[in-house]
């Protein structure tokens, strides 16, 4: 059982790396909103009523948009007792086909990880875990090439950063810890363009100078983009001025309405886990 493995020494090599080559892939893990979505946690915003039916429609449109741009979507087993389970990105971090199952900072979210672990293992990923008492949310990890920026937030602690570093640095990752105090997760404040330029809404970013290339955007939700491939960017419809800015810079912007999820501090990034490298 999973709980038995978690009692083992975290220093042990639990899942040896495969010698098979890693190749590009376009698979995305998603998880359908549960009936308790409206009870999801909020930290940095005032609670608003959430229309669960409307949220399901928005989620289905989001998933269809991924598919329309060449992504194979894989539905993780529902976790209907967990209101925030639709925000699947928080449960796992993947780097070069190695999956690190997180230990969410909010205790109520920890049951969400079991289904995600099953999904990534089924795709052939090597699996590691964040060990208690450390905490780490996947939304605090921004990958830019081989650099992993990790937010030290209210959900991710110093021990979580250290454990992530221990797993991924031997694989060639450069791990950079950054402070996060103005938003829920690092990726609530910043994401990156295909060329590595980091986008951020200045009032929500603790230390813009920590990023070598930084582009200020006019709307908070405009700081959150998903790379669909090439110069195509997926972003929320709530940031039209940022969409105009990025289009003017030569990107192809695809927008989706995720307003019900934004009421719960959700974004386009946290509704999926994009797997860009898997074993052949």
Which is the catalytic residue, given 82, 125, 185, 201? Answer: 185
Residue 63 backbone dihedrals phi, psi, to 5 degrees: -65, -40
The pLDDT score that the predictor gives to residue 13 is 39
pLDDT (0 to 100) of residue 194 = 97
- Which residue is associated with the tokens 């190749």? 23
Q: Whole-angstrom Cα distance, residue 155 to residue 114?
A: 19
Q: Which two tokens stand for residue 70?
A: 């060449």
Residue spans of beta strands (DSSP E) within 153-272: 174-179, 190-192, 198-200, 214-216, 225-229, 232-236, 252-256
pLDDT of residue 221: 98
pTM score, whole prediction: 0.93
> Which pLDDT score is estimated for 12?
37
Determine the Cα–Cα distance for residues 139 and 257; give it in Å rounded to an integer: 20
User: In order along the chain (280 residues), what is the average pLDDT of each group of 10 residues?
Assistant: 41 48 93 98 96 98 98 98 98 96 98 98 97 98 98 98 98 98 98 98 97 97 97 98 98 98 98 92
Annotation marks residue 185 as catalytic: yes
pLDDT at 19: 63
Q: Are 100 and 79 in contact (CB under 8 A)?
A: no
DSSP designation for 211: S
Sign of CA dihedral 273, 276, 277, 280: positive
């Amino acid at each position: 059982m999973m709980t038995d493995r978690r009692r083992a020494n975290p220093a042990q090599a639990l899942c040896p790396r495969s010698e098979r080559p890693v190749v590009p892939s376009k698979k995305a893990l998603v998880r359908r909103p549960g009936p308790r979505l409206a009870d999801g946690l909020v930290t940095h915003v005032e609670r608003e009523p959430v229309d669960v039916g409307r949220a399901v429609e928005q989620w289905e449109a989001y998933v269809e948009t991924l598919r329309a741009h060449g992504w194979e979507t894989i539905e993780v087993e529902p976790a209907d007792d967990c209101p925030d389970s639709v925000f699947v990105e928080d449960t796992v971090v993947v780097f070069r086909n190695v999956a690190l199952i997180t230990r969410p900072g909010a205790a109520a979210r920890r049951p969400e990880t079991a289904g995600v672990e099953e999904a990534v293992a089924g795709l052939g990923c090597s699996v590691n875990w964040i060990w208690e008492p450390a905490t780490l949310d996947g939304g605090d990890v921004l990958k830019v090439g081989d650099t992993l920026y990790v937010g030290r937030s209210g959900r991710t602690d110093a021990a979580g950063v250290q454990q992530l570093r221990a797993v991924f640095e031997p694989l060639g990752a450069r791990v950079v810890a950054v402070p996060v105090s103005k938003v829920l997760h690092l990726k609530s404040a910043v994401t990156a363009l295909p060329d590595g330029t980091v986008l951020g809404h200045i009032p929500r970013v603790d230390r813009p100078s920590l990023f070598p290339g930084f582009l200020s955007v006019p709307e908070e939700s405009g700081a959150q983009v998903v790379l669909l491939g090439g110069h195509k960017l997926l972003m929320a419809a709530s940031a039209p001025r940022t969409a105009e800015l990025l289009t003017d810079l030569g990107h192809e912007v695809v927008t989706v309405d995720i307003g019900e999820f934004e009421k719960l501090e959700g974004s386009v990034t946290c509704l999926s886990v994009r797997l860009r490298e898997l074993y052949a």
